Chains A and B, each alone.
Chain A
Amino acid sequence: MRDPFYCELLRANEENRELIQDFTIYRETEYARFPDKIIGLEAYLKFCAWSDDENDLVKIYLIKDASSHKIVAYFGLKEGMLAANMEEAISLDEQQALFQTEGVKMFPEILPGIEISHFAVNDKYREELSSGGKPVKGLGRYLFPKYIYPIIIEVGARIGVHMIYLYAAGDDALVSYYKEAFNFQEMTEDDLYTPLEPEYDGGCRFMYQRFYSS
């Protein structure tokens, strides 16, 4: 059976400049009117995604309806890493004791990864997809394994990637969703890490997944 959707790079098609203006996340619509103050996922796509992609800061993909070519969702991927450098000094003795306890024989100070920096479904499309009833739920459960995961697997087979990770937008339901639907794990203890610039993180929570790259 023909796939109902297809995926293309944001800048593969000049018409996408117009199409993205119709992308809507209802709970963000109010903020999207003031993109200079809060750049949620809707405003990001409309006001920042094109130039960020152009400057190689992120690669933005659109998922479109195969018949109507309307935007179903979008996602962004970027190369990333986590470094072991600590905010507070730890003595060498403490480190060695910990390595021994934890059975760590080889300690890489950087873990390379792929960040899923953006992932959002178009609320208007969810409404259109339903047969006059409630907007459909669970589109992301289809789109992630179908379009995002294969890119990660492909990249992971060619370059070193220890994990994929994301920053879930501070919402218990969303964190549970990523755990249950996509096998992500949460680093639950809040005091184990700090975001680099917490004033704009909206309470995001770090989540990660180790995957089989080949």
Chain B
Amino acid sequence: MYKPRDYSKPMMIKFKGLEGLKAYIRLLKTPPVKYDADRKAEEALQELRKQGAKI
């Protein structure tokens, strides 16, 4: 059964031990990703129209 999160409270994570430190380093070393927002938006708009959305 679906149970929503309580969005009135903040979330934060803590890293655990050596494995956590490895995860933190992975975050640190992750390179930026290309995200073509204009193209993604245009594709999504076309898809909405294909479904018959009145926009």
Residues of chain A whose beta carbon lies under 8 Å from any beta carbon of chain B: 4-5, 27-28, 31, 38-41, 43-44, 47-48, 52, 80, 82, 84-88, 90, 94-95, 98-99, 102, 104, 107-108, 111, 117-118, 129-131, 133-134, 136-139, 141-142, 144-146, 149-150, 153, 162-163, 167, 169-170, 181-183, 185, 187, 189, 191-197, 200-204, 206, 208-213
In the complex the two chains form, is A193's CB within 8 Å of B14's CB?
A: yes
In angstroms, Cα B8 to Cα A44, docked, is 6
Contact A40-B7, Cβ < 8 Å, known A86-B21, A130-B52, A193-B23 = yes
Please measure, in the bound complex, the distance between the C-alpha atom of A5 and the C-alpha atom of B41, giving whole angstroms.
12
Measured between alpha carbons, how far is A87 from B13 in the docked complex, in Å? 10
- A210/B37 contact (C-beta < 8 A), A118-B7, A136-B52 known: no
| From A43, A104, A146, A203, contact of B41 by CB (8 A) | A146
Listed A/B pairs (8) with beta-carbon separation below 8 Å: A4-B55, A48-B8, A90-B21, A98-B21, A104-B25, A129-B55, A145-B40, A202-B6
Look across to chain B and name the residue whose beta carbon is closest to the beta carbon of A129. Answer: B53
Are B5 and A40 closer than 8 Å at their CB atoms? yes
User: By the criterion CB–CB under 8 Å, are B3 and A38 in contact?
Assistant: yes
A48 to B30 Cα, complex, angstroms:
34
For chains A and B in complex, what number of residue pairs have CB atoms within 8 angstroms? Answer: 196
Residues of B within 8 A of A162 (CB): 27-28
Q: Are B7 and A41 in contact (CB under 8 A)?
A: yes
B12 contacts A196, C-beta separation under 8 Å: yes
- Whole-angstrom distance between the Cβ of B2 and the nearest chain A Cβ: 5
Distance in Å: Cβ of A205 to nearest Cβ of chain B? 10
- Do residues B27 and A86 form an inter-chain contact, with CB atoms below 8 A? no
**Would B16 and A192 count as touching, CB distance under 8 A?**
yes
Q: In the complex the two chains form, is A212's CB within 8 Å of B32's CB? A: yes
Q: Report the separation of the CA atoms of residues A129 and B47 in the bound assembly, to the nearest whole angstrom.
A: 13
List residues of chain B with CB within 8 A of the CB of A94: 18
Whole-angstrom distance between the Cβ of A64 and the nearest chain B Cβ = 13
**8 Å CB contact of B37 from A118, A139, A150:** A150
Interface residues as binary, B32-47 with A (CB distance below 8 Å gives 1, 0 otherwise): 1111011011011101
Q: How far is the CA of A80 from the CA of B13 in the complex (A)?
A: 11
Min distance, Cβ A62 to any Cβ of chain B, angstroms: 16
* Min distance, Cβ A95 to any Cβ of chain B, angstroms: 7
